[in-house]
Structure 1
């Protein structure tokens, strides 16, 4: 018995698909994405922003580039960091990664 007539028939046409059932996996993926990626990143950024706003003169800091130093002067957007006895660097506040506390 040849299979050609059965292959030509194809799959039976399905009824109308429920639109909610079609978008449910996409909605679930977005919810998981939000709770596991977006929300923790917002918390981390909020914590970092509070840390940068709370720095005071004399705090030991570490920059993005790995430079360790002590805050010597604070401006609106930058800080003056004393790295060694006679070495001072002006660094943007956004380049600070951690504050180790007072010297």
Structure 2
């Protein structure tokens, strides 16, 4: 009797579950869902900000008061395709990459209000 109980218990443990394996599509649904969330929360807003910054850099002109990414305030004295000359004090001019201009001083004060 003890032997029959052990055999039936062992047989019950080796039985396969009734549900079976999920399909390949069902396995990838959570990954697709996570990618969609990342796209709308991270990728899309970042690319939108990047396009706005590129547009801003194309529109800057000589005489604009700007703030650099390092926090230096100055006035644009010269512009080329890649570089900008910024006067940060009387007679002190710094040549830097155009992409390092963060914003204009007007837009920075407007954001505070």
What is the TM-score when the length of structure 2 is the normalising length?
0.77
Structure 2 equivalent of residue 34 of structure 1: 39
Which structure carries more helix by proportion?
Answer: 2
Q: Which has the higher strand share?
A: 1
| Structure with higher RCO (Cα < 8 A, 6+ apart) | 1
Corresponding position of 2:78: 73
Residue ranges of structure 2 left out of the alignment (5+ in a row): 107-113
Question: How many Å apart are 1:26 and its aligned residue?
Answer: 0.8
- Assess if the C-alpha contact under 8 Å between 1:51 and 1:99 holds in 2: no
Structure 1 portions without partners, runs of 5+: none
| Equivalences, count | 101
Question: Whole-Å Cα distance in 1 between the matches of residues 15 and 62 of structure 2?
Answer: 74
Q: After TM superposition, which residue ranges in structure 1, 4 or more long, deviate above 4 angstroms?
A: none
Query: What is the aligned-residue RMSD (CA, Å)?
Result: 2.4
